[in-house]
Amino acid sequence: MQKMLIEFAGYRRLAIDLHRNRELLDELYDILIDRTKVICEIASESPIELVWCGDNVNGIVLGPRVFEKYHLPVYRYMSKLFEKNGKTFIVHMDGKLNCLKHLIPVSGIKVMEAFTPPPMGALPLREARSVWGEDIKIWINFPESILLNEESYVKQYMLNLLEEISFEKGFLIGITEDIAPGYEGRLKVVAKILNREN
């Protein structure tokens, strides 16, 4: 579904097809699933340890019903296959996930990469952890919009984020966005805090 959205159709066309051309869309979906399974079989037999799926999921774009029907079966298939072969399955989900939060734990995903907390995301970190438990490791995307503020604001946001994490296991902090030129100093603030707290 994400391939159709991002690479083939775009938002408007896919929304139309979901309502007016569902039979044709499902036919394409099935073809893509068959191809995906072949790719996953090859990856599962390779010596790699991590399998990254760059789906770029945003719950407010397609919603829970589409996610449950089209995404969950694929994630379950992939996660079982990779787990059976000793691989860690990682999915890029940097969008607003609040409306999907109860579906994600049954997806089989082991690592949620680019999880973006508010204000850019819609699901607070503490709430995500309480719903998902410790089965899903969270790779946090530090929100780019925070870096557009004064250094004191960036520092306070980072300290609050660390307080939410409370140095539990299963977290990683990164930045998956393109940072605008001129804001490198804000990144240094984040790095200093992380170095001091660890």
Q: Is 190 within a domain?
A: no
Domain that holds residue 78: 48-141
**pTM (2 decimals)?**
0.89
Q: Is 160 within a domain?
A: no
Q: Is 37 within a domain?
A: no
Number of domains in the chain: 1
d(CA 4, CA 191): 37
Mind listing the pLDDT tens digit for each residue in 84-128?
Answer: 999 999 999 999 999 999 999 999 999 999 999 999 999 999 999
Cα 28 to Cα 1, 8, 65: the distances in Å are 10, 11, 19
